[in-house]
């Protein structure tokens, strides 16, 4: 029996009186794609922020590869092997595409201030090597991005920004990648390319798992192994998309109670 890549148990957070995420359990197995769906404001992004350490959970537990990472600061969680993208993609806009991806390798490179000052050859060699790997990574994601690798990230159109964010996430060689609405702002063709990207990346990196917040039902139907539904901060369903979509509670959450009764 394999250990789960990411194990979330009873995770909750309260902001003042508001319970944004309540007692959520999630299991993400190695080499699995799990989609999280749910209405707007259901607490999906908050869940991501809890797992990636931007918020501290009020209670509950997060384990990565069997290691308890609950309450760790964000940078340590990133170093432990969870990479993420943001709903409104957050690139380093005033830096080049290569710089962006090299920064993604921060936890996989070592040089500190003293290395940079006193052993510049070593530090520079490390960074040059990182830049080469970053360039390769960008090339493998998209030839289009590769052609623009020395441009500033702020100049990229939306779909390219999402791709670059995924490249940056991959650069840290994570165990789990969390994508927050990767297909928003993409047309069907871009979304197809995105799904192809995820499948290819998974084929190349055995063990890598994806946790994806998504609204595009075409993607949700095609890509993930499993789907979890969040509503009002609680998980209300978890399983195959084909089964989950038929559950009355899920339909209520999506369509509203009345519509569900009529359906």
Site for other proteins in 170-189 (CB under 8 A): 172
Can you tell me which of 14, 29, 152, 255 binds other proteins, judged by CB under 8 A? 152
Q: Which is nearer to other proteins, 123 or 237 (CB)?
A: 123
Dihedral sign of CA atoms 89, 92, 94, 96 in order: negative
27, 87, 140, 251: which one binds other proteins (CB under 8 A): 87
83 beta partners: 177
Is residue 50 close enough to count as binding other proteins by CB under 8 A? Answer: no
Angstrom CA distances, 106 to 21, 148, 172, 235, stand at 30, 22, 7, 34
Contact 52, 84 (CB under 8 A): yes
Among the residue ranges 64-72, 85-93, 197-205, 221-229, the one whose residues contact other proteins (CB under 8 A): 85-93
**19 binding other proteins? (CB under 8 A):** no
Q: How far apart are CA 234 and CA 228, in angstroms?
A: 10
- 3-state secondary structure at position 216: coil
Residue 47, interface with other proteins (CB under 8 A)? Answer: no
By the 10 Å C-beta count (0-12 exposed, 13-18 middle, 19+ buried), 18 is classed as exposed
Positions in the binding site for other proteins (CB under 8 A): 15, 45, 48-49, 52-54, 73-76, 78-79, 83-84, 86-87, 90-96, 98-99, 102-104, 106-107, 109-113, 115-117, 120, 123-124, 126-128, 130-132, 150, 152, 168, 172
């Amino acid at each position: 029996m394999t250990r789960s890549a990411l194990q979330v148990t009873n995770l909750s957070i309260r902001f003042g009186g508001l319970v944004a995420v309540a007692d959520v359990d999630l299991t993400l197995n190695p080499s699995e794609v799990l989609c999280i769906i749910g209405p707007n404001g259901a607490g999906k992004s908050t869940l991501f922020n809890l797992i990636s350490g931007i918020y501290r959970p009020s209670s509950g537990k997060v384990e990565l590869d069997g290691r308890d990472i609950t309450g760790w600061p964000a940078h340590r969680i990133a170093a432990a092997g969870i990479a993420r993208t943001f709903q409104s993609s957050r690139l380093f806009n005033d830096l080049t595409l290569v710089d962006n991806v090299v920064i993604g390798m921060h936890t996989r490179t070592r040089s500190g201030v003293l290395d940079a000052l006193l052993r510049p050859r070593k530090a520079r060699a490390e960074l040059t090597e990182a830049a080469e790997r970053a360039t390769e990574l960008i090339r493998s994601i998209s030839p289009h991005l590769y052609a623009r690798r020395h441009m500033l990230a702020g100049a990229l159109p939306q779909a390219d920004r999402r791709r670059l964010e995924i490249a940056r996430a991959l650069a840290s060689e994570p165990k789990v990648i969390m994508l927050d609405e990767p297909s928003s702002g993409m047309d069907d063709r871009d979304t197809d390319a995105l799904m192809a990207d995820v499948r290819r990346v998974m084929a190349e990196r055995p063990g890598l798992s994806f946790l994806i917040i998504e609204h595009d039902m075409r993607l949700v139907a095609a890509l993930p192994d499993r789907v979890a539904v969040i509503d009002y901060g609680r998980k209300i369903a978890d399983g195959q998309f084909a089964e989950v979509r038929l559950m009355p509670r899920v339909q209520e959450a999506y369509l509203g109670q009345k519509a569900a009764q009529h359906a």
